[in-house]
């Protein structure tokens, strides 16, 4: 496709089923490395990043298939390679999420830094600091994180993140599931996607408490089993469609969503003059052919207004009444 031709100047009306959340699917697919048995992950979005994560697991030795319903089947029982190469990691920063599972289950992992040989403070330093506290030895050489577990198993401990980190929380949460003893994560990220990851791990046999709060407790187990799991819907995609309805003075219903994961957005839509109707797994936004009112937003970690919705609301404010 060379271009998109959009004939606008009309309200958007109708219903749309929301896709699976990329930010949930990627860590969940990485977490399948922890399981000895076959794992099936349903409602996976059809995106390049998902394909890249699947290719990475395949290079590590996992067997993957995907069916016509976008369910990914993973068998990680025969992992025989522990290197995540720069060629793949450079195209997707979420590749760092294989570090925790590889190190925890196999005792070793060589994962390229997302930015190669970066100088200065790196976004992954919080991950490395936490894994070191759990007993790992880590060296960074030639753009690669080389992590080893000398005792054969990570040790549970208290970890206090210096700043809130979503991927850091996910990586250490996964690593802690097979660690010896209890791991407590303080100042943990609270995003719904982290709750989804914790639910997936719990279904495979992990013992996790507190996901969705700033303190998560993980009691390590000997092994995790396989199973089937359905990825949550994408709250940012849902918010984007609702914003489009508000901009065009239309009426749109988004389905297969969790309204309670969108509360900060819904408050802003009401402030903009939208009429909202909520169901158990759907949201309808109706502008009643009225121009939206301008709203002020401040982005911050969940449960505050999400950074990934800032651009959409900037577009809304550009045609809204007021300032």
- Residues taking part in catalysis: 117
The 3-class secondary structure across the chain, one letter per residue, is CCCCCCCCCCCCEEEEECCECHHHHHHHHHHHHHECCCEEEECCCCCHHHHHHHHHHHHHCCEEEECCCCCEEEECCCCCCCEECHHHHCCCHHHHHHHHHHHHHHCEEEEECCCCCCCCCCCCHHHHHHHHHCCCEEEEECCEEEEECCCCCCECCEEECCCCCHHHHHHHHHHHCCCECEEEEECCCCCHHHHHHHHHHHHCCCEEECECECEEEEECCCCECCEEEECCECHHHHHHHHHHHHHCCCEEEEECCCHHHCHHHHHHHHHCCCEEEECCCEEEEECCCCCCECCCCCECCCCCECHHHHHHHHHHHHHCECC
């Amino acid at each position: 496709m060379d271009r998109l031709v959009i004939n606008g100047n009309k309200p958007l009306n109708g219903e749309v089923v929301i896709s699976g959340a990329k930010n949930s699917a990627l860590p969940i697919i990485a977490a399948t490395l922890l399981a000895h048995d076959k794992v099936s992950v349903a409602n996976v979005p059809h995106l390049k990043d998902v394909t890249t994560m699947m290719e990475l697991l395949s290079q590590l030795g996992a067997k993957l298939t995907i069916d016509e319903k976008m369910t990914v089947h993973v068998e990680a029982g025969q992992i025989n390679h522990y290197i995540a190469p720069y060629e793949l990691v450079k195209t997707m920063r979420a590749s760092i999420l294989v570090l925790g599972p590889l190190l925890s289950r196999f005792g070793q992992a060589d994962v390229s830094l997302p930015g190669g040989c970066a100088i200065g403070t790196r976004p992954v330093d919080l991950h490395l600091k936490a894994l070191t506290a759990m007993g790992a030895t880590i060296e960074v050489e030639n753009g690669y994180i080389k992590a080893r577990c000398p005792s054969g198993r990570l040790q549970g401990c208290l970890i206090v993140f210096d700043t809130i980190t979503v991927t850091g929380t996910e990586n250490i949460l996964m690593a802690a599931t097979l660690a010896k003893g209890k791991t407590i994560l303080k100042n943990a990220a609270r995003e719904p996607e982290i709750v989804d990851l914790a639910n997936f791990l719990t279904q495979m046999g992990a013992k996790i408490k507190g996901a969705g709060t700033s303190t998560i407790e993980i009691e390590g187990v000997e092994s995790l089993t396989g199973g089937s799991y359905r990825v949550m819907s994408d709250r940012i995609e849902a918010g984007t469609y609702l914003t489009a309805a508000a901009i065009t003075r239309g009426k749109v219903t988004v389905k297969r969503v969790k309204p309670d994961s969108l509360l900060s957005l819904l408050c802003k839509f009401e402030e903009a003059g939208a009429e909202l109707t909520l169901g158990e797994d759907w949201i309808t936004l109706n502008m009643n052919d009225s121009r939206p009112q301008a709203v002020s937003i401040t982005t911050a970690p969940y449960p505050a207004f999400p950074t990934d919705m800032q651009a959409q609301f900037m577009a809304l404010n550009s045609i809204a009444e007021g300032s």
